[in-house]
Amino acid sequence: MDDREKRFLRALSGMALQYLSRGEDLDNLAMSGGEHAMILLAEYGLITMEKGQCRFGRWTEAGRELLNSNWPTT
């Protein structure tokens, strides 16, 4: 993963944390944008989603590390 991808994923993760978090869980509230964001975060291993499930997810250790990282945002 290059720096550009890291910046993108950190921004997307931050948005998910702010708008989709329900404690440790994520809920996309049945919004297509939230669903697509969570699917992408899951593809990168930053959240887990149950097989066949596209509404709820949970941060992985890698996702929590990303959110707490000091990667540049610009």
- pLDDT, one tens digit per residue, over 16-67 is 999 999 988 999 999 999 999 999 999 999 999 988 888 999 999 999 999 9
Q: What is the dihedral of CA 25, 31, 16, 11, to 10 degrees?
A: 160
Query: What's the whole-model pTM score?
Result: 0.86
Q: Which distant-in-sequence residues (6+ apart) come within 8 Å of 50 by Cβ?
A: 56
Q: What domains lie within the chain, and their CATH numbers?
A: 3-66 (1.10.10)
Q: What is the pLDDT of residue 69?
A: 84
Is the pLDDT confidence value at 73 over 60? no
Cα–Cα separations (whole angstroms), residue 3 to 16, 18, 69: 20, 22, 13
Measured CA to CA, the distance from residue 26 to residue 71 in angstroms comes to: 23
